[in-house]
């Protein structure tokens, strides 16, 4: 699947993933109205509205992007009808040939992690039969619980030729609260008065990055591992350091656009081969019609606005990479 992702990135010239995070406020009123007229102002109505919204976005951009990243929280908030709209979106995107990165940020231990892995990336056994529950291509995973939590995901990925993006350094302002903590790497350093204990100190995200690099070796594609990392665009210097620590791991980079990241901040996330990173934009694309720059499209043409925003983003990244 990482090979397929890279192939599609090369074909489209767009190291871009469109975040399908359809908050209700992004959905134009004419779409909401149609759905509510049919289903009422119900969870089913909301689910129908976000599905119709997604479908038009996907129809407008599927041929110029390699991948989408639906954020399951935005569907889960509408209960079971919302999750059904998530599944419908995943299936439709795959039908359109897109790689689907499920932004689920799951993470647990042992048999519980295995259940998440099986449900989202693999097949579950029911009696003598096997079924795919959600069947996405990649999933984002939280590493806080350590290898016990990650290995069951890697096992399922190996069986299914699928992949992961593991949270290393997230794009949010408070991500440093725990992730940037300087970790003592010298043994015995806890004893009071140990001199120079700080010598080997590193931030936690680097420790996690080193572990991602090791996990990645367990499931390699051709040039890159099936096991990638999430590193926020909002921390370009940390991106540079992590790029070196994880040379063969693809980096999924959120935080472009709405969260403040710009094309020039992104160059350090790429390797010399022009690969190694895929940049996410969510509201910057799907709600482009609400921005001044694309307002002339109007809410009726939100799909065309999204397409224009993808093309501008591709250009911004291309230019930044050429100028580095």
Alpha-carbon span 153 to 137, nearest angstrom:
12
Distance from the first to the final alpha carbon of the chain: 29
Q: Tell the smallest beta-carbon distance from residue 14 to its own copies (Å).
A: 24
Give DSSP secondary structure letters for 78-142. THHHHHHHHHHHHHHHHHTT-EEEEEEEE---HHHHHHHHHHHTSEEEETTEEEESS--SEEEE-
Q: Are 17 and 253 in contact (CB under 8 A)?
A: no
Active-site residue numbers? 105
Q: Nearest to residue 199, comparing CAs of 182, 224, 213?
A: 182
Tokens of 82: 């919302």
**Least gap, CB of 72 to its own copies (angstroms):** 9
Give the interface segment with its own copies, choosing from 104-112, 237-245, 299-307, 314-322 (CB under 8 A): 104-112
Using the rule CB under 8 A, is 280 a contact of its own copies?
no
Write out the binding residues for its own copies, residues 73-92 only, by CB under 8 A: 73-74, 76-80, 82-84, 87
Rounded CA gap, 169 and 240, in Å?
Answer: 12
Question: Which backbone phi and psi does 168 adopt, to 5 degrees?
Answer: -115, -60
Which residues neighbour 67 within 8 Å (Cβ) at sequence distance 6 or greater?
A: 5, 8, 16, 17, 18, 98, 99, 100, 101, 278
Q: Which of residues 139-168 bind its own copies (CB under 8 A)?
A: 142-149, 167
- Name the one range near its own copies by CB under 8 A: 59-67, 137-145, 221-229, 265-273: 137-145
Contact with its own copies (CB under 8 A) among 4, 13, 64, 109: 109
Residue closer to its own copies, measured from CB, 214 or 324: 214
67, two tokens: 């991948």
Burial class for 136, CB neighbours closer than 10 Å (0-12, 13-18, 19+): buried
Residue 174 is a binding residue for its own copies (CB under 8 A): yes
Q: CB of residue 211 vs its own copies: minimum separation in angstroms?
A: 7
- Residues of span 218-237 touching its own copies by CB under 8 A: none
* Pick 1 or 139: Cβ nearer its own copies: 139
Q: Closer CB to its own copies, residue 195 or residue 222?
A: 195
Closest separation in Å from C-beta 121 to its own copies: 11
What are the beta bridge partners of residue 230?
167, 252
Pairing of strands 277-281, 249-253: parallel
Q: How far is the CB of 184 from its own copies (least distance, A)?
A: 4
Query: Segment near its own copies (CB under 8 A), from 51-59, 198-206, 288-296, 304-312?
Result: 198-206
Site for its own copies in 14-53 (CB under 8 A): 21, 23-24, 32, 36, 41-43, 45-46
Name the segment binding its own copies (CB under 8 A); options: 122-130, 212-220, 235-243, 261-269. 122-130
Contact with its own copies (CB under 8 A) among 7, 63, 199, 300: 199
Q: Does 181 bind its own copies (CB under 8 A)?
A: yes
């Amino acid at each position: 699947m990482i090979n397929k992702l890279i192939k599609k990135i090369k074909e489209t010239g767009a190291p871009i993933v469109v975040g399908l995070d359809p908050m209700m406020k992004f959905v134009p009123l004419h779409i909401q109205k149609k759905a509510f007229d049919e289903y009422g102002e119900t969870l089913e109505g909301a689910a129908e509205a976000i599905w119709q919204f997604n479908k038009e976005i996907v129809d407008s951009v599927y041929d110029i992007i390699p991948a989408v990243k639906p954020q399951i929280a935005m569907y889960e908030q509408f209960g079971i009808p919302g999750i059904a709209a998530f599944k419908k979106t995943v299936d439709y995107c795959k039908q359109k040939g897109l790689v689907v990165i499920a932004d689920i940020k799951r993470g647990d231990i042992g048999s519980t992690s295995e259940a998440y892995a099986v449900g989202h990336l693999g097949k579950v056994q029911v009696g003598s039969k096997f079924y795919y529950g959600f069947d996405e291509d990649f999933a984002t995973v939280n590493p806080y619980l350590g290898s016990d939590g990650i290995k069951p995901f890697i096992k399922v990925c190996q069986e299914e030729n699928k992949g992961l993006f593991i949270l290393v350094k997230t794009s949010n302002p408070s991500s440093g609260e725990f992730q940037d903590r300087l970790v003592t790497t010298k043994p015995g350093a806890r004893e009071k008065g140990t001199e120079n204990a700080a010598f080997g100190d590193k931030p936690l995200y680097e420790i996690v990055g080193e572990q991602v690099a090791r996990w990645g070796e367990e499931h390699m594609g051709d040039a890159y591992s099936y096991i990638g990392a999430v590193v926020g665009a909002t921390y370009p210097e940390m991106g540079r350091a992590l790029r070196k620590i994880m040379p063969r791991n693809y980096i999924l980079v959120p935080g472009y656009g709405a969260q403040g990241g710009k094309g020039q901040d992104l160059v350090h996330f790429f390797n010399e081969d022009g690969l190694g990173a895929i940049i996410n934009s969510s509201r910057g694309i799907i709600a482009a019609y609400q921005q001044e720059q694309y307002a002339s499209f109007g809410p009726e043409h939100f799909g065309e606005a999204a397409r224009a925003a993808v093309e501008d983003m591709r250009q911004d990244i291309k230019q930044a990479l050429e100028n580095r």
